[in-house]
Amino acid sequence: MKLYSRITGTGSFLPPRRLSNADLVAELAANGVETSDDWIVERTGIRARHFAAADVCCSDLALQACTHALQAAGVVAADIDLIIVATSTPDMVFPSTACILQHKLGASGGAAFDVQAVCSGFVYAVSIADALIQNGSAGKALVVGAEIFSRILDFSDRTTCVLFGDGAGAVVLEASESPGVLATDLHADGKHVGILCVPGSVSGGKVVGEPLLKMDGQAVFKLAVGVLEQSARAVLEKAGKATTDIDWLIPHQANIRIMQSTAKRLRLPFDRVIVTVDQHGNTSAASIPMALDSAVRSGKVKPGQLVLLEGVGGGFTWGSVLVTM
């Protein structure tokens, strides 16, 4: 009998410190950086973001999100045999945040590793977990997107520091006789490394390069809109579905204008797009699972509905997961 993977629970967590645009504008102004609520809302749709406290790690946010997802699925941590954490802001160089998370969850023995595909990390992680479940290597997986982007922002660069936030989202993905994940589609093109990167590393006990986020916003914008449309069409074709079959599109929450352009290109009414960027900012790999959890808990996304998850980000990476809830 063919095995599928199915989302059986979702969870998310936002660190408690919320900064509205007005709060951030005031903080930046105190350091001589000028921006405004009007500029941020008009260009991005962002109204607020959350920042983690200094003593909080990526795995702490992930732990909270996973606890909620496990509760929703009615699964205990001891039964999890696969943990994949998508993150670009891990606790340490190594071991993986997934291993640290596994221990914090009180689980042991199953596979645990991180995926580094920046804002596409969650769709990459779900695709890998789906494959491992389909081939019988895992039965109950936690797939997580967790980020503390506030640690890698240059708060003297107004073109980037107003865009990002911290948070975590998770799903429990379980083996099932009915789908579940219908199709996945992953891509990368490394020639675009320079348009979105954190060009720093650790060498000889020192940080070398510049470990702060750099972005050519307009180049990212143009690429993002094109590849999101292509990937949506590719994953739908693989599953034998049409854009009109989609109940909800949950794209990476980077910028409301990218989401509007994507919906327009797909001829999808914008009221079928889940939007959380206004309250979360861009939380990179965490944005899709946080948006999914928010849509499930608010009752928008219902069992049996067809949901298209789409990620795009540094690498350049992009991809989609088409799933029946």
- Which residues contact ligand ACO (rule: CB under 6 A)? 35, 39, 43-44, 118-119, 158-159, 162, 196, 215, 217-218, 220-221, 224, 254-255, 258, 282, 284, 313-314
Report the residue number, 80 or 119, with the smaller CB distance to ligand ACO. 119
CB of 318 to ligand ACO, least distance (A): 10
CB of 265 to ligand ACO, least distance (A): 16
Contact by Cβ (8 Å): 163, 282: yes
> How much helix, strand and coil, in percent to the nearest 5, is found in the chain?
40, 30, 30
> Please, is 2 exposed, middle or buried when counting C-beta atoms within 10 Å of its C-beta (0-12, 13-18, 19+)?
exposed
Report the residue number, 95 or 217, with the smaller CB distance to ligand ACO. 217
Report the residue number, 255 or 320, with the smaller CB distance to ligand ACO. 255
198-211: burial string, b at 16+ Cβ within 10 Å, e else: beeeeeeeeeeeee
Contact by Cβ (8 Å): 307, 187: no
Report the residue number, 17 or 222, with the smaller CB distance to ligand ACO. 222
Just list the catalytic residues.
119, 252, 282
CA dihedral (256, 261, 262, 268) in degrees, to 10, reads: 100
CB of 260 to ligand ACO, least distance (A): 12
Residue at token pair 């808990």: 297
Residue 26 neighbours by CB under 8 Å, 6+ apart:
none
Contact by Cβ (8 Å): 288, 252: yes
CB of 184 to ligand ACO, least distance (A): 19
